[in-house]
Amino acid sequence: MQINRVILEKYFQGNCSTEEQLLVEKYLEQTNTPELDSLLTATWDDANKPVRKVHRMWYAAAAAAVAGIIILATAVFHPVGKQSALTDNMDTLFNHTSRVQIYNMPDGSQVWLNAHSKLGYSTAYNIHGRDLWLEGEALFKVVTNAKQPFNVHTRHLTTTVLGTTFHISTASHADGSIQISLLEGKIAVAERNGYTKILTPGEMLTSMEGQPANTGAFNEKEVLDWKNNKIIFNRTTLADVLTRLQQREGNRITLADQKLATKRISGEFSGDTPIREILATLAYVHDLKCTRVNDSTYLISAKH
């Protein structure tokens, strides 16, 4: 089934008739949607034209203009030169608590900001575009505004959004790679100096700058655990387990023996479980030694 691009654009702008809406929704159920893929690529191109100076300090952007878009994102930003990631001409939301905080943006979009995370946005937000800079982890529910692209800035990747639910993580893996996991809809992911990849639901793209990207399946329950006040590991490497706990809890956790880094860990904890109890449990089950250096620092080593 093919579709007229004009109707597709009207759908994402919320201007379709009932007949056209049903037609587009039937079209979107297909696996092969070349017209949508073309629109995604064109939207990404438009969103990344260098219009405002503040955008040039960033490696990536995400554009969206669809009602009810939900974006789950984890990101740590690396500024260019000596400039900080969150600059003086931004408003910044800080979540210094151990619980998820919900914020309403000026355009009506909602943000669920995870513990020990912060979100910066331009003072011109919703006037000259909708641009956000995230450190940590967040869930976004975006209000439609076809004239104001919704941009989430990460490192070397650009994710273009048209009506979808997806997760971005740059802070959860020990090797520093970025993971983009698509739950619903379609997204176009473009590397700064290389590939453009369109993901389908159930796919995760894993990328390290300067290297070819890999795609594969992902565990949705594990990806979304923090939003549901859970901590879930599903055959996760010990190195990634400690990286995730360190990011979420705001602690420093050092692995003394790198031979243990690839050890596989599975388990589920309540999000309210103190980190010392999680580490003590992991140490007991996996025959490890957990040493508390001070109030915010732990050392993990082999028991024998």
> Can you state the percent helix, strand and coil of the chain, rounding each to 5?
25, 35, 40
Residue 46 confidence (pLDDT): 58
- Please choose, from the candidates 73, 89, 224, 248, the residue with its C-alpha nearest in 3D space to the C-alpha of residue 155: 73
Read off the pLDDT of each residue in 226-238 and give the average, rounded to a whole number.
91
Which of the four pLDDT bands, split at 50, 70 and 90, describes residue 257?
confident
- Please give the helix or strand (H or E) that residue 1 lies within, else none: none
Residue 270 confidence (pLDDT): 93
Question: Taking the domains of the chain in order of start, what are their residue ranges?
Answer: 1-30, 46-221, 229-302
Residue 236 confidence (pLDDT): 93
45-59, 175-189, 202-216, 279-293: which range is least confident on average?
A: 45-59
pLDDT digits (tens, 9 = 90+) for 238-255: 999 999 898 877 788 999
Q: How many residues does the chain have?
A: 304
- Which is higher by pLDDT, 11 or 46? 11
Residue 191 confidence (pLDDT): 82
User: Both tokens of residue 152?
Assistant: 């989430």
Maximum Cα–Cα distance across the chain: 69
- Which is higher by pLDDT, 117 or 267? 267
Residue 281 confidence (pLDDT): 94
Structure pTM?
Answer: 0.65
Rg value, the chain, Cα: 20
pLDDT digits (tens, 9 = 90+) for 175-229: 888 888 888 777 777 787 777 888 888 999 998 888 889 999 998 888 888 888 8
In this predicted structure, the answer to whether residue 68 has a pLDDT above a threshold of 80 is no
Residue 54 confidence (pLDDT): 29
Long-range contact set of residues 210-213: C-beta below 8 Å, sequence gap at least 24? 213/189
Q: Which fold has domain 46-221?
A: Jelly Rolls (2.60.120)
Which of the four pLDDT bands, split at 50, 70 and 90, describes residue 86?
low
Read off the pLDDT of each residue in 13-29 and give the average, rounded to a whole number.
75
Read off the pLDDT of each residue in 4-14 and give the average, rounded to a whole number.
74
Residue 134 confidence (pLDDT): 79
Of 40-49, 197-206, 220-229, 260-269, which one has max mean pLDDT?
260-269
CATH number of 229-302: 3.55.50.30
Beta-sheet strands, E only, within the chain: 69-75, 90-95, 101-104, 110-113, 117-122, 130-142, 150-153, 157-161, 165-169, 178-184, 187-191, 196-199, 203-207, 214-217, 230-237, 252-255, 264-270, 288-294, 297-302
**The residue to which tokens 């309403």 are assigned:** 104
Residue 241 confidence (pLDDT): 93
Read off the pLDDT of each residue in 70-83 and give the average, rounded to a whole number.
40
pLDDT digits (tens, 9 = 90+) for 99-109: 888 899 888 88
Of 33-37, 75-79, 121-125, which one has max mean pLDDT?
121-125
Which of the four pLDDT bands, split at 50, 70 and 90, describes residue 233?
very high
Beta carbons of 45 and 160 less than 8 angstroms apart = no
Rounded to the nearest 10 degrees, the angle between the axes of helix 34-47 and helix 18-28 is 100
24-33, 80-89, 126-135, 169-178: which range is least confident on average?
A: 80-89
Of 4-18, 19-33, 83-97, 191-205, which one has max mean pLDDT?
191-205
